[in-house]
Amino acid sequence: MKYDIQLKNELIRLAESYGTKNFGDQYAHPNELKNSSVIFNDIRYSFHNESFSNIESKDENFKRTQKKHSRVQTKNAGILEMQSSNSSDALAMNVFCHPDFSNWVEMKKLFQVTEFTSIDFGHKARVDKTINNIKKKDNTEVDVFINGNIFIECKLTEKDFSSKKMEIVEHYSEFRNVFHVEKLLQTKTHYENYQLIRNILAANQHKAQFILICDIRRPDLVESFCQTVACIKDNYLGLRTNCKIIYWQDLAKVVGDELKIFLHEKYGIN
């Protein structure tokens, strides 16, 4: 069985136990099958109480939780993406939006910062592109942007880092300068690991770090990350060393006790 499917099955089992324990038998949306995730009845069920209270206090963060779910059985039901037990965005906000996040000393050490001065979600990296000799900017969002110089891609049960048509990827102005293009995973028409390529180019342009946060139960994602980073040319050694992985399990070890229990019960993250 594939790693993403294994983790989905485990998170469904955990969500059923967590939902029943904390919210009774009616914790799940009645019209949604538990095929690949549990869809909670209320978006609050996806969050640690303190994290969600802090999210509600900031309009931009609360607005992010209101994104509609694009892949549910019940069409036009107003189901939100973060009602899913598999939502990596919800997991990220549970951690980064906890009111004590900026005070956890070991968390600062993990990200190698002295202070957390800013945390933004859905940041537009505005990576340079050149199309028909006209300079443009990429419009894709970065999951989390810390301190103005750390780009973060968050993954949980996502199948992969997606693929993109070659001609679209090759529009990135620095693509061929940064990568050994022939070494990247690709088909005749597409480059694999597009999200990684995009984030690495963003880090290069902004002289920033790029961090992948994923689950230690997803060695397939780790392999894709390592393979893509290995394609960075030697004259971009600083960029290569600015790309690293942090596991959700690493974060769970340095959060407060109550959030630690929540992450264990809901996600099986220790």
Which runs of consecutive H residues, i.e. helices, occur in 82-125? 88-96, 105-111
The model's pTM: 0.95
Q: Whats the size of the chain, residue-wise?
A: 270
Residue 48: which domain range? 1-99+258-270
Residues 252-261, mean pLDDT to the nearest whole number? 98
Is the same domain home to 2 and 112? Answer: no
Strand residues in the chain grouped as ranges (E): 119-124, 128-131, 134-137, 141-146, 150-154, 164-165, 190-191, 209-214, 243-247
Which runs of consecutive H residues, i.e. helices, occur in 84-183? 88-96, 105-111, 166-169, 175-178
Is the same domain home to 250 and 270? Answer: no
Give me the sign of the Cα torsion angle 267, 248, 250, 2. positive
Count of domains for the chain? 2
- Tokens 């110089």 belong to residue: 149
Is the same domain home to 233 and 263? Answer: no
- pLDDT at residue 73 greater than cutoff 70: no
* Burial class for 29, CB neighbours closer than 10 Å (0-12, 13-18, 19+): buried
Q: What is the pLDDT of residues 85-133, one digit of tens each?
A: 999 999 999 999 999 999 999 999 999 999 999 999 999 999 999 998 8
Is the same domain home to 177 and 240? Answer: yes
* Burial class for 239, CB neighbours closer than 10 Å (0-12, 13-18, 19+): buried
Residues 242-255, mean pLDDT to the nearest whole number? 98
Instruction: Decide: 95 and 251 in contact? Cβ < 8 Å.
Output: yes
Question: pLDDT over 90 for what percent of the chain?
Answer: 90
